[in-house]
Amino acid sequence: MSDTRDLTLRPTPSNRLSNRTFDMTDTHTPGHHALTTPYYMHKRRRLGLALIGASLLCLATLTAQAQEWPTRAVRIVVPYPAGGGVDVLARAMAQKLQERWNQAVIVDNRPGANTLLGTEAVARATDQHTLLFTTDATFTINPHLYDKLPYSLERDFTPVTHLVSFSQMLVVNSTFAANNLNELIGLARQKPGALTYASYGPGSQPQLATEMLKQKTNTFIVHIPYRGIPQAVLAVVSNEVPMTWSGIPSARPHIASGKLKALAFGGKTRTPAYPDVPTVGELGFPEVDANVWVGLFAPSNTPAATVQKLHRDVLAVISDADFRRREVEGKFYDFVGHGTDDFKRHIARESVSRKATLKTAGVKLE
Do the domains 71-165+294-361 and 169-265 sit in the same CATH topology, yes or no? Answer: yes
Give the model's confidence band at 42: pLDDT under 50 very low, under 70 low, under 90 confident, else very high. low
For the chain, what are the domain ranges? 35-67, 71-165+294-361, 169-265
Which amino acid, residue 50? A
pLDDT over threshold 70, residue 240: yes
Comparing 97 with 31, the larger pLDDT belongs to 97
What pLDDT does residue 362 have? 84
Mean pLDDT of all residues belonging to the chain: 87
Spatial distance between the Cα atoms of 181 and 42, rounded to a whole number of angstroms: 84
Spatial CA neighbour of 108 closest among 85, 82, 136, 129: 82
Give the model's confidence band at 265: pLDDT under 50 very low, under 70 low, under 90 confident, else very high. very high
Spatial distance between the Cα atoms of 199 and 203, rounded to a whole number of angstroms: 9
14-23, 175-184, 233-242, 266-275: range with lowest mean pLDDT: 14-23
Average pLDDT over residues 312-319: 96
pLDDT over threshold 90, residue 262: yes
18-32, 35-49, 197-211: range with lowest mean pLDDT: 18-32
Give the model's confidence band at 56: pLDDT under 50 very low, under 70 low, under 90 confident, else very high. low
pLDDT in tens, 321-348: 999 999 999 999 999 999 999 999 999 9
Average pLDDT over residues 128-138: 97
Angle between helix 85-101 and helix 248-256 axes, rounded to 10 deg: 120
Spatial CA neighbour of 201 closest among 164, 238, 245: 245
What pLDDT does residue 57 have? 53
pLDDT over threshold 70, residue 44: no
Determine contact, residues 178/263, Cβ cutoff 8 Å: yes
- By the 10 Å C-beta count (0-12 exposed, 13-18 middle, 19+ buried), 132 is classed as buried
pLDDT over threshold 50, residue 365: yes
CATH, domain 71-165+294-361, list 2.30.30.40, 3.40.50.2000, 3.40.50.11810, 3.40.190.150: 3.40.190.150
Give the model's confidence band at 195: pLDDT under 50 very low, under 70 low, under 90 confident, else very high. very high
27-36, 104-113, 300-309, 338-347: range with lowest mean pLDDT: 27-36
What pLDDT does residue 278 have? 98
Homologous superfamily of 169-265 = Periplasmic binding protein-like II (3.40.190.10)
Per DSSP, the chain holds a count of helices (H) and strands (E) of 12, 11
11-25, 166-180, 189-203: range with lowest mean pLDDT: 11-25
What pLDDT does residue 15 have? 45
Give the model's confidence band at 202: pLDDT under 50 very low, under 70 low, under 90 confident, else very high. confident
Comparing 5 with 52, the larger pLDDT belongs to 52
Query: What is the reported pTM?
Result: 0.80
Please state, for a pLDDT cut of 90, what percent of the chain lies above it.
76
User: For 291, which DSSP code?
Assistant: E
pLDDT over threshold 50, residue 26: no
What pLDDT does residue 136 have? 96
H helix or E strand, kind and range, residue 148 = none
What pLDDT does residue 140 have? 96
What's the farthest any 2 CA atoms get from each other in the chain?
Answer: 128
User: For 17, which DSSP code?
Assistant: B
